[in-house]
Amino acid sequence: MPEPDLSVSPRAIWKLTWPQMLMMYLVFFMGFINIWVAGRISADVQAALGMVNQCGLFLMVVAMSMSSGATAAVSQSLGAKRMRRAQRYVGTTVLGSLLAGILVALLGWQLGSPILRVLQVPERILPVTAGFWDITMLALPAQYVYAATGVMFRATRQVLPPLWVAATVCVFDLLGCLGLGLGWFGLPCMGYVGIAWANAGAQCLGAVANCLLLCRAGYLCRRAMPTTRWLRAGLPYLLKVALPAGAAQIVWQSGYLMLFVLVASLPFDSINALAGLTAGLRIEALLFLPGMAFNMSVSVLVGNCLGMGEPAKAKRVALQMIVIASLGMSVVAALLWPFRAELAALLSHEAGTQAQIINYLTYNLLSTPFSIASTVMGGVMVGAGATRYNLMVYGGTFWLVRLPLGWLLGHWLWGTASGVFLAMLVSQCLQTAIMFYVLLYRDWARFAMRARHHHDNR
């Protein structure tokens, strides 16, 4: 097992961040290809894929919450140079993610039809949405493991191995979507079913490859599996971080599902608005996914600093990362602004959908500095184990501001998707202001593990 690199120098920050940024762009490219292929089939398929993707994110909340707890626990353990403890947390997280993925997939498969009905999926796209749903549930355990193992690599600062895996997965998904979805390369044209199976195969490939690489690195082996005695000592902190993180994810993802419901039930042009939101979210990923790379990097750096017992350094690193990420992504947003119509044309050939994509991007690009800053600050709280702040701030602004305002503007005052998109911008500004106050004036470092906790390395 390699000795951890605990430096917070600019070189170390860049070394940790650039591979994750490339990984995020690979994730974006995969999503872009899926939406592009779906758009070549029909707007109905594109809208159905958007609904299932959003539901899939909601079902990933258990994996994401466990990963948040593990990021804090592993990074702080490595900062304190408790190698065996870090190894145990890795094993606990991977095994727990597999079991949780199987359980959630079974529940999702059994409750698929009621869930889609509750979400008010339009009847026109319901059969396609149900087809996407069934295949997505089949691959969900692999998706859980792939996500968890990727987080473990980042928490241990080994960011190059998962980058190569992500590149391989991306190529596999690209060939699968084009081949099975559109019938390229002499493969049978399966339509939307081909897109779903290509995604499922890509997730399985990524999960297996990451597990093998973790085994090779020494973090995933027989002695990394937790004993009952160790779980009694180590699990409470993991749950202390993971439970608020999971609740925050449930609140956030359920909020996004309700946002899709608001758009799908608009008085006018709801199908085009839904397809436009789906495609617009993919373009937004050009900005948001690099922001997530900074989120992940800052969570590891802050965790390392707090593990070493240096909260002042943790706050300094956090502020540096917020400024760098916000300025950098704002420049990218400004460069994209003149090309909104061209980007919309890439993702859809239907004029109504293109108009809604442009509409979404108009509001979304304006929110870039706020959304990126709040994303990075969320990573700070994960690294510190202070995930309850993410729950209160993100959940509160989403359910108390974004959704009520979106309903008021989108369904009553304006009657169009523009009202929902404006509500998203307003809530992002408020969310960022509150999180910045928490970062500067609240004692979030107190949620880190103390040296007296888990004093043994077993």
Per domain, the residue ranges of the chain are: 10-447
Tell me the C-alpha distance between 436 and 354, whole Å.
35
- What distance separates the 2 farthest-apart alpha carbons in the chain? 63
The amino acid present at 3, given as its one-letter code, is E
Residues 180/200, Cβ–Cβ less than 8 Å: no
Q: How far apart are the first and last CA of the chain?
A: 15
- DSSP state at residue 308: T
> Which class for 118: exposed (0-12), middle (13-18), buried (19 or more C-beta within 10 A)?
exposed
3-state SS of 191-247 is: CHHHHHHHHHHHHHHHHHHHHHHHHHHCCCCHHHCCCHHHHHHHHHHHHHHHHHHHH
Tell me the C-alpha distance between 409 and 418, whole Å.
8
Give the global pTM: 0.79
Ordered DSSP codes for 168-200: HHHHHHHHHIIIIIH-GGG----THHHHHHHHH
Integer CA distances (angstroms), 390 to 152, 178, 218, in order: 21, 39, 32
pLDDT per residue rounded down to tens, the chain (458 residues) = 556 666 777 888 888 888 988 988 888 788 878 888 888 888 788 888 877 887 777 788 788 888 888 888 888 888 877 778 878 888 888 888 899 999 999 998 888 788 887 777 777 888 888 888 889 899 999 999 999 999 888 888 888 999 999 999 999 999 999 999 888 988 888 888 899 999 999 999 999 999 999 888 777 777 767 777 878 877 888 888 888 888 887 888 778 778 888 888 888 777 888 888 878 887 787 778 788 889 989 999 999 899 888 899 999 999 999 999 999 999 989 998 999 888 888 877 778 888 888 888 999 899 999 999 999 999 999 999 899 999 999 999 999 999 999 989 888 888 788 888 899 999 999 999 999 999 999 999 998 886 444 444 44
Tell me the two tokens of residue 432.
């960022």
**How do residues 254-299 score in pLDDT, each as one tens digit?**
787 788 888 888 887 778 888 888 788 877 877 787 888 899 899 9
Tell me the C-alpha distance between 338 and 325, whole Å.
22
Tell me the C-alpha distance between 403 and 406, whole Å.
5
* Crossing angle of the two packed helices 387-397 and 417-441, in degrees rounded to 10: 150
